[in-house]
Amino acid sequence: MKKIISLLLVVLMCFAVFAGGKKDTKSAAPVADEAVPSAESLISKDFIDPVKDWAKYDAMVKQIKTETDYAKRTQLMHEAEDVLMANWCVIPLYYYNDIFMQKSYVSGTYANLFQTKFFMYAKMANGSKTLRINLASEPDYLDPALNSSVDGACLAANSFSGLYTYDANGKTVPACAEGYKVSADGLTYTVTLKKNLKWSDGSALTAADFEYSWKRAASSETAADYGYMFSGFAGYDDDAIQVKAVNDTTLEFVLAAPCAYIEDLMAFPTFYPVCKKYVEAHSTADQPGAWCTDAGFISNGAFVCTEWKHDVSMKYTKNPYWYDAANVTVESLEFMLSADDTAIYAAYNAGNIDYADSVPTDEIQTLLDTKNPEFYTIDALGTYYAAFNCKSKIFNGKTPAQAACMREAFSILIDRDYICANVGQTGQIAANAFLPLGMADGNGGIFKKDAITEGYYDPYAINNDYEATVAKARTLLKAAGYKFGADGKLDASTPIVLEYLTNESSGHIAVAESIQQDLAAVGIVLTIQVQDWNVFLEERKNGNFDFAREGWIADFNDPINMLEMWTTDSGNNDCQFGR
């Protein structure tokens, strides 16, 4: 049903990333004969085979989630990141911030550090009762248990309500809950719900709906990407998390270990309630999310999806049964479904949309130079990165250590500073670790404060000493069994040809082209395939790629959420670790 938009860009070093093109690549120095070190001598002491030995990483994450000594827990998380970074499948490029455009007559919208946008309290000074928005193209899932994308989380946050939510200051506050009590050992939570909660069809919403929804999301049968977020609950390993409705307004759940971020979990879309009678009437075991693939499904948030022209537009209408409907003044949200930055920008400038969550790369500098008051840059907590499928055919015939050396060579050749300055353009910081700068450490401190001294490599090495960095990349590739000619390029007898998978966006394609040119310095041939958003998500998830564009916005402000996504059974483990 859905059409793949594929673009194969095979001409190396001929594409301009933006007007003016990328800086000239320096000439490669002649390659001198040298002794080739073994791959095993070049890898980190923290390296484990990402295919066969990944159970060791799974065990580390499990230990972190049950550790009650918070100082030790923080140390264990550093050790887990050491292991994650040692195999070079995850290639951080920069730390996120967030940009959007919003008309001057719009106020009251807000976002949290995790890029979830909240539109329910929007005010329209132009007299309109409709807020017109672009977030992305056709959403992959609207089922809050199955969604794993940022745009899907935004749609969920405006059409469903969990026990908790975020206010305009980014703080967790009660939503469907009045509050909760916790036992002395920090394991048993008793949540009191607001009275007279209703679904969008006017029927009663009770604690039993939360019990059903959480058990459904955590169940292996549902196979939710985020099902592992319930792994801290007692009974998770037996596929029977301990949560029960004591009565209509009281929900009780039991954890396996104390959790410092429990309110963030209760505010996360995977923990939102879904209407059992509607879900079970409109879904099957093979398609658990079928109940919300068209407009008209039951929800419990500020807005209800009332129109959906697939791949074109969606309309959400105010839900009169929402617990805070009295404070919602906008009657509807209309979403333009597109990932074409140029078309989105044109629609914004023509006055056809009021809010645009993306801007064409070649327009950013003008917006900054003119200090356009409708262009916003806000903080975010996450990392833009590229990722290798550790089971890709390009590693066939290589030992685990040789494959790691190959990936490290790719990483150090990438000019992150160029990407930040000329593609991102809004003050992004070149990344040298998966966990972003500024994230809390779960023990009252900051997990990582400095981009240089606390990372895993110098993200500016290719700029500071080009020849030495390219020489190091060649050494790593030689250790992996590759040969080079006198021109410093890969010998024809040992080529490297691979594909980079990305979705349609001027920024993502520009990053891909920049990497393409960087790798060509040693003769690596990188082709680029651009796919439709929801097809792209499925291809990554299923491991149908060599090398892919990735990005991870933290789900809550604790390192575990960016470490547990890489466990073998996680639905977000795109690298296919342990599989």
Write down the residue that tokens 């059992």 correspond to. 276
pLDDT at residue 29 in the model:
53
pLDDT at 1 exceeding the cut of 80: no
- Rounded Cα distance between 250 and 214, Å, is 15
CATH of domain 39-96+379-566: 3.10.105.10
Residue spans of beta strands (DSSP E) within 280-399: 303-309, 313-318, 332-336, 355-356, 375-388
pLDDT at residue 20 in the model:
38
Tokens of 46: 């923290």
CATH of domain 104-353: 3.40.190.10
Write down the residue that tokens 């409705």 correspond to. 245
Asked whether the whole model's pTM tops 0.85, one would answer yes
Sign, CA torsion 63/64/69/71: positive
CB 295 within 8 A of CB 335: no
What Cα–Cα distance (Å) separates residue 351 from each residue in 107, 129, 345, 356, 375? 16, 15, 10, 11, 15
Contacts by residues 393-401 (CB-CB < 8 Å, ≥ 24 positions apart): 393/546, 394/496, 394/497, 394/498, 394/546, 397/481, 398/480, 398/481, 399/39, 399/40, 400/47, 400/49, 400/50, 400/51, 400/52, 400/87, 401/38, 401/39, 401/40, 401/42, 401/43, 401/47
Average pLDDT over residues 175-203: 98
Average pLDDT over residues 210-231: 96
Residue 160's pLDDT band (boundaries 50, 70, 90)? very high
- Nearest CA among 434, 426, 367 for reference residue 87: 434
Pairing of strands 525-531, 497-503: parallel
For the chain, what are the domain ranges?
Answer: 39-96+379-566, 104-353
- Nearest CA among 110, 237, 92 for reference residue 562: 92
What angle, rounded to 10 degrees, do the helices at 506-519 and 361-369 form?
Answer: 110
Question: pLDDT tens digits, residue range 487-514?
Answer: 999 999 999 999 999 999 999 999 999 9
- Rounded Cα distance between 495 and 12, Å, is 15
CB 382 within 8 A of CB 436: yes
Topology match between the domains 39-96+379-566 and 104-353? no
Question: pLDDT tens digits, residue range 549-571?
Answer: 999 999 999 999 999 999 999 99
- Rounded Cα distance between 459 and 416, Å, is 7
Question: pLDDT tens digits, residue range 248-274?
Answer: 999 999 999 999 899 999 999 999 999
The per-residue pLDDT of the chain, averaged, comes to 93
Buried-exposed string 320-357: b where 16+ CB fall within 10 A, e elsewhere: ebbbeeeebebebbbbbbbbbbeebbebbeeeebbbbb
Write down the residue that tokens 């073998």 correspond to. 568
pLDDT at residue 35 in the model:
85
pLDDT at 548 exceeding the cut of 70: yes
Tell me what percent of the residues of the chain surpass a pLDDT of 70. 94
